[in-house]
């Protein structure tokens, strides 16, 4: 199929690469063309703007930072909505508030077009290994039409419900992910303070019933010299999702005390000036609070 990808950051570039590898004709657009050069060299076509990209695509994906960015690429003067064919399908993979996603989808519906929310669960590591999963909200028939394309990106594609339901589910998953990673750092710091070597504590944790896929690849980052220069998700990016979770909890009247606690640890990371690191660096907050040097 002719597929467009808007937003060629780490995840977007990985998505475009997997679509190319599966044989789809991919067109890309990003605010900064330099990020797209490796993909262009491997055969990806370049569009001048989202309107041009969507006009030549049967399926369009976007994965950008926040709701304001989605609004710009989807509904702006040269946005997707002005180029997408009536039988085209637009899927936004960004993590934004469900109400925002529903509002954007309603604009597309008024124009006689189809928009789905399709957030991806996974990191660049799980994406590259084909283990990422995609959740979809919106028209069920449209989901079935694009399902083969989604399975070129990740191992699983699940229909969650109407518009906004997939991003609602993504926020719930990210809540668990955030709390799990932060609790891991808390537990390792407690073991360290009690005299267990950090390497030993990490190994024991990853060999225990508390282990999980995310801890398996992220946990070792807290060992000396292992923190990646390019984070999978830095503190600020991850905190953006936690703020969305807290707002959803407020709107729905659903308590999210662990999300609130995790958010405060992210505040502490920012206060310590380590927010540019992968958010597993929260371990350092506990070490410092416990009187251990970084």
Residues linked to residue 234 through DSSP beta bridges, in sequence order:
278
| Max CA separation in the chain (angstroms) | 64
The number of angstroms, rounded, from the C-alpha of 119 to the middle of its chain's C-alpha atoms is 7
> Which pLDDT score, from 0 to 100, does residue 293 have?
73
Listing DSSP states for the chain in one string gives -EEEEE--SHHHHHHHHHHHHTT-EEEEE-SSGGGGHHHHHTT-EE-SSHHHHHHT-SEEEE--SSHHHHHHHHHSTTSGGGT--TT-EEEE-----HHHHHHHHHHHHHTT-EEEE--EES-HHHHHTT--EEEEES-HHHHHHHHHHHHHH-SEEEEEESTTHHHHHHHHHHHHHHHHHHHHHHHHHHHHHTT--HHHHHHHHHTSTT--HHHHHHGGGGSTT-S-SS-SSBHHHHHHHHHHHHHHHHHHT---HHHHHHHHHHHHHHHTT-TTSBGGGHHHHHHHHTT---
- Token match 């039988």: residue? 87
Cβ-based neighbour number of residue 220 at 10 Å: 15
Structural domains of the chain ordered from first start: 2-162 (3.40.50.720), 169-289 (1.10.1040.10)
Residue 152 tokens, joined = 């070129």
> Which pLDDT score, from 0 to 100, does residue 230 have?
87
Check: CB of residue 88 under 8 Å from CB of residue 58: yes
Phi, psi of 258 (to 5 degrees): -70, -35
If we measure between CA atoms, which residue out of 126, 206, 104 comes closest to residue 173?
A: 126
Per-residue pLDDT of the chain (294 residues; tens, 9 = 90+): 999 999 999 999 999 999 999 999 999 999 999 889 999 999 999 999 999 999 999 999 999 999 999 999 999 999 999 999 999 999 999 999 999 999 999 999 999 999 999 999 988 899 999 999 999 999 999 999 999 999 999 999 999 999 999 999 999 999 999 999 999 999 999 999 999 999 999 999 999 999 999 999 999 999 998 999 888 889 999 999 999 999 999 999 999 999 999 999 999 999 999 999 999 999 999 999 999 976
> Which pLDDT score, from 0 to 100, does residue 294 have?
64
CA distance linking residue 201 with residue 190, whole number of Å: 9
């Amino acid at each position: 199929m002719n597929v467009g990808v808007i937003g060629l950051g780490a995840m977007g570039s990985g998505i475009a690469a997997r679509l190319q590898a599966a044989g789809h004709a991919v067109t890309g657009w990003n605010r900064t063309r330099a990020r797209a050069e490796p993909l262009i060299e491997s055969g990806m076509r370049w569009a001048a703007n989202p309107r041009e990209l969507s006009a030549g695509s049967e399926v369009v994906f976007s994965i950008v930072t926040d709701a304001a960015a989605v609004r710009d690429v989807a509904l702006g003067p040269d946005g997707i909505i002005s180029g997408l064919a009536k039988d085209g399908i637009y899927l936004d993979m960004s993590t934004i508030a469900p109400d925002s996603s529903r509002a954007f989808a309603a604009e597309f519906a008024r124009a006689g077009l189809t928009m789905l929310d399709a957030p991806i669960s996974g990191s660049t590591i799980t994406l590259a290994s084909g283990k990422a999963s995609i959740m979809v909200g919106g028209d069920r028939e449209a989901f079935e039409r694009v399902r083969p394309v989604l399975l070129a990106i990740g191992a699983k594609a699940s229909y969650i419900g109407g518009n906004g339901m997939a991003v609602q589910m993504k926020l719930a998953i990210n809540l668990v992910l955030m709390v799990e990673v932060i609790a891991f750092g808390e537990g390792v710091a407690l073991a360290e303070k009690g005299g267990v070597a950090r390497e030993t504590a990490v190994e024991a944790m990853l060999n225990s019933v508390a282990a999980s896929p995310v801890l398996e690849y992220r946990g070792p980052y807290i060992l000396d010299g292992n923190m990646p220069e390019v984070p999978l998700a830095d503190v600020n990016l991850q905190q953006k999702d936690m703020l969305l979770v807290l707002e959803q909890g407020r709107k729905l009247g659903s308590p999210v005390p662990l999300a609130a606690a995790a958010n405060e640890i992210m505040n502490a990371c920012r206060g310590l000036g380590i927010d540019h690191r992968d958010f597993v660096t929260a371990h350092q907050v506990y070490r410092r609070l416990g009187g251990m040097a970084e």
